[in-house]
């Protein structure tokens, strides 16, 4: 394991940190001034096999022989991904702000709270490990990112289609990345050497769309001063991507059908047929079958386009990809703006995973750009998230079709009712697939936890497996309603200090639950609750909790 490097001219500070980290089985290496650190980093860079680089660097801000801020700047140049924690006295808070501006992971105030210091160093270690994995994965910028099963199905579909030039219809909500899929299909196809031409049929006025697609001859209409090549000709030998095909005007659908059928077209005002050697990929966020039934889309064109259908899942259906995509977009935004990439705290990531993302991946990308500009510190905390995320209700994550109900309920505590598998899993769909509906169960743990929070009686395991999911979902929400009802009762009864009374009950239940989950380990319980060890110890004493002995 890589060591924690400690830099401080005060031997007592080094000693207490070394002992505290040793109790946590964390190796350390100590230095008395910045010059020693830079020399050690130079040895490692030169390839000294006897030396191992740091996992985290903890440095005092004021030392003889150089300041911690100067050391921070030089370390950021040598090892940009290394988390650096700056120790500072309370009188040096202005310097702490400067440390954040120069890329410090966090600052640690003196006198040092040892449990808080260890907790902070562990967080920095986790960030360092994530940075290493991210650097390995981003050695070559990927076309698309996704670890969720639905996205893996999409990737497999792209692989299967790599030797074909068959027409593909991509469906999915706006902002889910349909054009990225189309570009990947083109890149991994026999026509990859040809051009990729994209056109959004919904963004161009009806009277101009025909000319945009097929081109026009000189004098074909007022303003047509010269002959113009359309998108079909521009895409010759390559791929034409027709985005939002469901919004194409009905009369132009007929012309498009003829091109797909005959492989040729006429320019506007032209009389000579033009051959089209083009692969067509279409995309839409609409239900084309419904559009056909309503008479807004030609059925024969639908069948021409629907040779292979590839459904792209919404971001809320692949919530496990949110952390990876968030870090990717933060890196991307930082490169675009020419600034140091920001990191994001686990609590903020967890809240993003609970956001429904109506704008899908595009919305997450915009949020990351906003955070790069607006978040005040180098580490993005929960309160830094934009109001659209913080003020939105928590999205109840769906159960995947391939995931056992007990596992998903324990992980998310929010199953959904009667979800068609085709709506949960992306991949190649046959043209005429009849969606089957699968009811999803819920675990006893999720039900009893929700009931406990609500003050309702717990159900047995047998009851949990036979109880409809709709009841469990309803119960998961009633603790907030129960809290509201309890507050109304206390206020109506004239009880004084209602805030304190309810807060004590809430904190007691929350701390008890965390201690049970961590088998009485207060430090771990505090970490998982997002509070300091001193805080949880004080709360246990204040609330008179009979806490389990620490393991």
pLDDT digits (tens, 9 = 90+) for 312-336: 999 998 888 999 899 999 999 998 8
If pLDDT is split at 50, 70 and 90, which confidence band does 242 have? very high
Per-residue pLDDT tens over the stretch 30-46: 999 888 888 888 877 66
Per-residue pLDDT tens over the stretch 85-109: 888 775 555 655 666 666 777 778 8
Mean pLDDT of 16-41: 90
Ordered alpha helix ranges (H), 24-167: 34-45, 68-78, 93-101, 114-137, 149-160
CATH 1.10.8.60 given to domain 315-390: yes
Mean pLDDT of 5-31: 91
Residue 155 has pLDDT above 50, yes or no: yes
4-137 and 149-311 in the same fold? yes
Residue 260 has pLDDT above 60, yes or no: yes
What's the burial of 188, exposed, middle or buried (CB within 10 Å: 0-12/13-18/19+)? Answer: middle
Tokens of 245: 């095909």
Q: How far is CA 415 from the centre of its chain?
A: 20
In the prediction, which pLDDT does 461 show? 29
In order, the DSSP letters of 488-531 are HHHHHTT-S-HHHHHHHHHHHHHHHHHHHHTTT-HHHHHHHHTS
The three-point CA angle 54-58-63 to 5° equals 120
Name the 3-class secondary structure at 280.
strand
Q: Which of 216-225, 422-431, 474-483 has the highest mean pLDDT?
A: 216-225
Is the pTM of the predicted complex or chain greater than 0.85? no
Q: How far apart are CA 236 and CA 111, in angstroms?
A: 70
Radius of gyration of the chain (CA): 30
Mean pLDDT of 522-546: 80
If pLDDT is split at 50, 70 and 90, which confidence band does 542 have? confident
Task: Classify domain 149-311 at the CATH class level.
Answer: alpha beta
Range with lowest mean pLDDT among 93-97, 387-391, 522-526: 93-97
The three-point CA angle 139-141-146 to 5° equals 110
Q: Rounded mean pLDDT of the chain?
A: 77
Q: Is the preceding omega at residue 111 within 30 degrees of 0, hence cis?
A: yes
Mean pLDDT of 479-484: 77
Q: How far apart are CA 408 and CA 292, in angstroms?
A: 37
- Domain residue extents for the chain: 4-137, 149-311, 315-390, 405-492, 498-543
Residue 548 has pLDDT above 50, yes or no: no
In the prediction, which pLDDT does 216 show? 82
Q: DSSP label at 319?
A: G
Query: Sign of torsion, CA 375 121 530 147?
Result: positive
Residue 486 has pLDDT above 70, yes or no: yes
| Assigned CATH topology for domain 4-137 | Rossmann fold (3.40.50)
Residue 484 has pLDDT above 70, yes or no: yes
Name the 3-class secondary structure at 450.
helix
**In the chain, how long is the greatest CA-to-CA distance?**
91
Residue labelled with tokens 């698309």: 144
Residue 47 has pLDDT above 80, yes or no: no
**Considering the chain, what percentage of its residues have pLDDT values greater than 90?**
25
Tokens of 103: 């890329």
């Amino acid at each position: 394991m890589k060591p924690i490097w400690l830099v401080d001219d005060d031997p007592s500070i080094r000693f207490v940190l070394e002992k505290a980290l040793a109790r946590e089985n964390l190796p350390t290496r100590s230095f008395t001034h910045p010059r020693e650190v830079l020399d050690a980093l130079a040895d490692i860079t030169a390839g000294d096999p006897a030396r191992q680089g740091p996992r985290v660097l903890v440095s005092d801000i004021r030392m003889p022989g150089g300041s911690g801020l100067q050391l921070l700047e030089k370390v950021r140049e040598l090892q940009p991904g290394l988390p650096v924690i700056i120790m500072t006295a309370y009188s040096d808070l202005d310097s702490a702000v400067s440390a954040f501006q120069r890329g410090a992971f966090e600052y640690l105030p003196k006198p040092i709270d040892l449990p808080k210091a260890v907790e902070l160093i562990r967080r920095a270690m986790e960030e360092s490990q994530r940075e290493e994995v991210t650097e390995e994965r981003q050695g070559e910028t990927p076309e698309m990112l996704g670890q969720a099963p639905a996205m893996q199905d999409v990737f497999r579909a792209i692989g299967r289609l790599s030797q074909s030039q068959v027409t593909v219809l991509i469906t999915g909500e706006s902002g889910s990345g349909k054009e990225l899929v189309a570009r990947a299909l083109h890149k991994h196809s026999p026509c990859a050497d040809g051009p990729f031409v994209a056109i959004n049929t919904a963004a161009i006025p009806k009277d101009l769309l025909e000319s945009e697609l097929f081109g026009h001859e000189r004098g074909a209409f007022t303003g047509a001063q010269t002959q113009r090549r359309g998108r079909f000709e521009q895409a010759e030998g390559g791929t034409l991507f027709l985005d939002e095909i469901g919004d194409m005007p009905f009369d132009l659908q007929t012309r498009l059908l003829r091109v797909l059928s005959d492989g040729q077209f006429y320019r506007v005002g032209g009389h000579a047929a033009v051959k089209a050697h083009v692969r067509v990929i279409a995309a839409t966020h609409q239900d084309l079958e419904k559009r056909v039934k309503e008479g807004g889309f030609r059925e024969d064109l639908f069948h021409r386009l629907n040779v292979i259908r590839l459904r792209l899942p919404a971001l809320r259906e692949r919530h496990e990809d949110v952390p990876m995509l968030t870090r990717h977009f933060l890196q991307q935004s930082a490169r675009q703006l020419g600034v140091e990439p920001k990191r994001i705290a686990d609590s903020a990531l967890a809240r993003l995973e609970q956001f429904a993302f109506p704008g899908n991946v595009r919305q997450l990308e915009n949020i990351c750009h906003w955070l790069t500009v607006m978040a005040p510190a180098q580490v993005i905390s929960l309160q830094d998230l934009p109001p659209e995320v913080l003020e939105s209700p928590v999205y109840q994550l769906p159960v995947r079709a391939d995931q056992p109900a007990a596992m998903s309920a324990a992980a998310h505590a929010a199953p959904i009712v009667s979800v068609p598998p085709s709506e949960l899993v992306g991949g190649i769909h046959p043209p005429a697939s009849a969606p089957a509906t699968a009811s999803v169960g819920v675990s006893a743990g999720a039900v009893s936890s929700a009931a406990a929070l609500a003050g309702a009686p717990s159900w047995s395991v047998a009851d949990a497996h036979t109880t409809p999911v709709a009841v469990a979902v309803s119960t998961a929400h009633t603790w907030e309603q129960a809290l509201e009802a309890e507050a109304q009762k206390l206020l109506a009864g004239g009880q004084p200090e209602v805030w304190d009374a309810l807060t004590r009950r809430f904190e007691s239940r929350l701390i008890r639950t965390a201690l049970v989950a961590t088998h009485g380990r207060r430090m771990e319980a505090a970490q998982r609750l997002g509070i300091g060890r001193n805080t949880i110890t004080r709360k246990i004493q204040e609330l008179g909790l009979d806490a389990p002995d620490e393991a």
